[in-house]
Chains A and B, each alone.
Chain A
Amino acid sequence: RKEVEQDPGPFNVPEGATVAFNCTYSNSASQSFFWYRQDCRKEPKLLMSVYSSGNEDGRFTAQLNRASQYISLLIRDSKLSDSATYLCVVGTGGFKTIFGAGTRLFVKA
Chain B
Amino acid sequence: NAGVTQTPKFRVLKTGQSMTLLCAQDMNHEYMYWYRQDPGMGLRLIHYSVGEGTTAKGEVPDGYNVSRLKKQNFLLGLESAAPSQTSVYFCASSSGLAGGQQFFGPGTRLTVL
Contacts and interface: CB of A to CB of B under 8 A. Distances in A.
Contacts of B97: 93-95
Q: Is the interface of B mostly helix, strand, loop or mixed?
A: loop
Nearest to B39: A101
B10 to A, nearest CB: 11
Contacts of A4: 42
A85 B74 CA distance: 27
Interface size band for A: 20 to 34
Interface stretch (A13-21, A39-47, A62-70): A39-47
B42 A43 contact: no
B42 A32 contact: no
A44 B104 contact: yes
Given A43-B90, A43-B107, A97 B42 contact: no
B38 to A, nearest CB: 9
A91 B90 contact: no
Interface centre among B31, B102, B105 (most CB of A within 10 A): B102
Interface string B101-112: 110111100000
B22 interface: no
Interface in A36-59: 41-46, 49
B82 interface: no
Contacts of A100: 42
A96 B107 CA distance: 21
A32 B99 contact: yes
27 contacts: A4-B42, A31-B99, A34-B101, A42-B106, A43-B105, A43-B106, A44-B43, A44-B104, A45-B104, A46-B101, A87-B43, A93-B99, A94-B97, A95-B45, A95-B48, A95-B58, A95-B97, A95-B98, A96-B45, A96-B98, A97-B45, A97-B102, A98-B42, A99-B44, A100-B42, A101-B40, A102-B42
Interface of A: 4, 8, 31-32, 34, 41-46, 49, 87, 91-102
